[in-house]
Chain A
Amino acid sequence: KAGVTQTPRYLIKTRGQQVTLSCSPISGHRSVSWYQQTPGQGLQFLFEYFSETQRNKGNFPGRFSGRQFSNSRSEMNVSTLELGDSALYLCASSLAGTNQGLEQFFGPGTRLTVL
């Protein structure tokens, strides 16, 4: 079974631009979570989508948004990029996001650099 895939793997943008990152979960997984990883703040939860609905949200500004499609693929969007948005963005999928399918499987991440 294929793992979680994320595209693109690397991205360079300039301040003020917007960016869209994509995540394809493991087949059959309905929950997709996004995390931001930086050297200073570590791993921080952005949001979780389950059955095309945002079910959980971390403490990030509204410039960070996401969505999930009927095939469970998810995208996250960051508008008006700031230098501090430079990070590794990790996507994780799980079967249901509840006590069922507890384990979250992570993708390789998208490395975003904002210049």
Chain B
Amino acid sequence: AQTVTQSQPEMSVQEAETVTLSCTYDTSESDYYLFWYKQPPSRQMILVIRQEAYKQQNATENRFSVNFQKAAKSFSLKISDSQLGDAAMYFCAYRSYYGGSQGNLIFGKGTKLSVKP
């Protein structure tokens, strides 16, 4: 069974600085998807960024980028130029490539990010 581990329960960053959130996972599959989701205090979970395991290039979405190390099974999220609105719980998630009966997301425990003005 696949597992996702986020070893940092809480992180803090100064506004405009850069922060990196860690995520490791365990799987025997070679093809899969990885995601970072953000859950602000309002509770609506939104997708931040996704990475296909078969792509070597790291995904980037504006100020958000990932460092995907497939061999190490590591998937960290870097937030550049942090803003107050980035304060939220961040969840790393895994999904099997094949979907269907294996299409559910497997989440880590989350990292609570605080942004200091």
List A residues at the B interface (Cβ < 8 Å).
3, 31, 33, 35, 42-45, 48, 55-56, 58, 88, 90, 92, 96-99, 102-109
Residues B37-56 near A (CB distance < 8 A) = 37, 42-47, 50
| Interface-centre pick from B47, B105, B110 (highest chain A CB count, 10 A) | B105
Give the 9 A-B CB pairs with smallest separation, nearest first: A106-B45, A98-B99, A43-B107, A45-B104, A42-B109, A97-B103, A56-B101, A108-B44, A109-B43
Interface string of B70-86 (1 = CB under 8 A from A): 00000000000000000
Given A43-B91, A106-B44; A98-B107 close (CB under 8 Å): no
A108 to B33, CA, bound (A): 24
Inter-chain contact A45/B106, CB cutoff 8 Å: yes
Q: Which A residues lie within 8 Å of B47 (CB)?
A: 103-105
Q: Are B33 and A102 in contact (CB under 8 A)?
A: yes
A48-B43 CB under 8 A given contacts A42-B109, A102-B33, A103-B50 = no
Chain B contact-residue range equals: 20 to 34
Q: Mind listing 26 A-B residue pairs with CB under 8 Å? A: A3-B44, A31-B103, A35-B105, A35-B107, A43-B107, A45-B105, A48-B103, A48-B104, A55-B101, A55-B103, A56-B101, A56-B103, A92-B45, A92-B105, A98-B99, A98-B100, A98-B103, A99-B97, A99-B99, A102-B33, A103-B47, A103-B50, A104-B47, A106-B46, A108-B43, A109-B43
Contact between chains at B102 and A56 (CB < 8 Å): yes
For residue B95, which residues in chain A have a CB less than 8 angstroms away from its CB? Answer: 102
Given contacts A88-B43, A107-B44, A108-B44, 16 further A-B contacts (CB under 8 A): A35-B107, A42-B107, A43-B91, A48-B104, A55-B100, A56-B104, A92-B105, A97-B99, A97-B103, A99-B98, A102-B33, A102-B95, A102-B99, A106-B37, A108-B42, A108-B43
With a CB–CB cut-off of 8 A, which chain A residues contact B44? 3, 106-109
